Amino acid sequence: MRVLIVLTYYRPHTSGLTIYAERLAKGLARQGHEVTILTSHYSRHLPRRETIDGVHIVRAPVLFRISKGVIMPTFGFLAWKLVTQADVISLHLPQFDAAGVALRGRLLKKPTVLTYHCDLQLPSGAFNRFVNRVVDLMNNLAGKFSHKIVAYTQDFADHSPFLLRFSEKLHVISPPVELPPMTPSGMAAFAKMHNPQRAHPVIGMAARLAAEKGVEVLLNAFPRVLERYPNARILFAGQYRDVLAEEAYARKLAPTIRRYEDMDKWKFLDVLDPVQMAAFYPNLDLLVVPSLNSTESFGLVQVEAMLCGVPCVASDLPGVRQPIRQTGMGEIAPIGDAEGLAEAMLHVLDHRDAYIRPREEIAARFSTERTVQGYIALFEELLNTR
């Protein structure tokens, strides 16, 4: 089967959406399918075309950016050519260009599956409101032209304005989760490098330094944690410098973070590769996902941490609360409530052993192989009924 996957940003850009798409693409390639990625050439340091782990990547030149969106004059030409060559199309929203690709799929009678990762919510302001309306319009058109729409969870689908409009096309597939094996020596080396004083407990956050991630909620909750656990420390894994369109947010948080850094209570680890992430999680006592809005729809890092025996605290957001609800490995905190987040964190830290579940139990619910098989079954169903 020839699969065309289309999304605005692909790896090495780091986000839940790009990690999901990469795992799906490589998983399909491992199953013997021919996979092509059409994405943006968002960085001049990347090649226009390359093949990684059996996945062909085509990057369309970017003329300029509008907020987090990109304008690609040759994208339509490339899309038409690649849609013609494909058997099925996998689109990943939010994405401004998805409507045009989905229309090409309809015209050329190519089964088109749209994966809806999250609702787009840009910061306040007249221009961003305009961008939101335009993207919403294009998303709606993509939804109308596509044959099926995939959501991570029914919980998120039941609360998403977009997905509620297309409930008759909805198909739920659990997201892909994978983690390389880690040796005790690798975990010890990570601890020696990033926690040489053996601070305890260690609280982790794995995200970009972006407004929707709720970093300030964790910062405001931390003093309450320090009252009970004076030796507590936070390790932040993820991009924190030059995050696209988040410069003002980083400047706003900088004084508070710098104060904790001076106290040796906060450490930025930057972007970690999969092997490093596999060493990061076992060195935590707790992972926190304090996201603020529906731009977060699940939080793959929660399941990764759970596979390493690390409980989580997550915001009470549709979808985001599901890993904890399904496994029992953590507590759910009120959205944007620092006091509520602190209470949940302390409850887990005080009774940590009660939240641990067997790795096999978590792996049975979430895996890349399970996700890939879900997509293959959906693609074959559409091809057989075309």
- Give pLDDT tens digits for 127-152: 667 767 777 888 899 999 999 999 99
61: left (phi over 0), alpha (psi -120 to 50) or beta: beta
For 385, what's the count of Cα atoms within 13 Å in the CB-facing half-sphere?
Answer: 9
Question: What's the rounded Cα separation, in Å, for the pair 61 and 256?
Answer: 39
Residue 214 has pLDDT above 80, yes or no: yes
Find the mean pLDDT for residues 18-39.
97
Find the mean pLDDT for residues 271-296.
94
Residue 242 has pLDDT above 90, yes or no: no
Using DSSP, how many helices (H) and how many strands (E) does the chain show?
15, 16
Q: What is the pLDDT of residues 297-322, one digit of tens each?
A: 999 999 999 999 999 999 999 999 99
pLDDT interval class at 15 (50, 70, 90): confident
Closest CA to 170 of 155, 153, 150: 150
Q: What is the pLDDT of residue 127?
A: 66
Q: Assess contact for 293 and 212: CB atoms under 8 A.
A: yes
Q: What is the pLDDT of residues 37-96, one digit of tens each?
A: 999 999 989 999 999 999 999 999 998 877 677 889 999 999 999 999 999 999 999 888
Percent of the chain at pLDDT exceeding 90: 84
Question: What's the rounded Cα separation, in Å, for the pair 114 and 121?
Answer: 19
Residue 229 has pLDDT above 80, yes or no: yes
Q: What is the pLDDT of residue 199?
A: 83
pLDDT interval class at 123 (50, 70, 90): low
Q: Which residue has the tokens 């369109």?
A: 245
Q: What is the pLDDT of residue 122?
A: 60
| Domains observed in the chain | 2-176+367-384 (3.40.50.2000), 184-363 (3.40.50.2000)
Host H or E run for residue 258: helix 247-262
Q: How many CB atoms neighbour CB 282 within 10 A?
A: 18
For 136, what's the count of Cα atoms within 13 Å in the CB-facing half-sphere?
Answer: 14
Q: How many CB atoms neighbour CB 109 within 10 A?
A: 8
Residue 295 or residue 382, greater confidence: 382
* 3-state SS record for 137-160: HHHHHHHHHCCEEEECCHHHHCCC
Could you give the 3-state DSSP secondary structure of residue 354? helix
Q: How many CB atoms neighbour CB 47 within 10 A?
A: 8
Q: Does 201 sit behind a cis peptide bond, omega within 30 degrees of 0 on the bond before it?
A: yes
20: left (phi over 0), alpha (psi -120 to 50) or beta: alpha
Both tokens of 286, joined, read 């707790």
Residue 386 has pLDDT above 80, yes or no: no
Both tokens of 179, joined, read 């983690």
Q: Assess contact for 272 and 302: CB atoms under 8 A.
A: no
Question: What's the rounded Cα separation, in Å, for the pair 3 and 83?
Answer: 9
Q: Assess contact for 116 and 16: CB atoms under 8 A.
A: no
Both tokens of 252, joined, read 């706003």
| Alpha helices by DSSP H, 269-337 | 274-280, 300-307, 322-327
Give 63: exposed, middle or buried? Use CB within 10 Å, 0-12, 13-18, 19+.
exposed
Residue 256 has pLDDT above 80, yes or no: yes
Residue 14 or residue 29, greater confidence: 29
Residue 3 has pLDDT above 90, yes or no: yes
Find the mean pLDDT for residues 312-341.
97
Q: What angle, rounded to 10 degrees, do the helices at 16-30 and 368-384 form?
A: 70
pLDDT interval class at 116 (50, 70, 90): very high
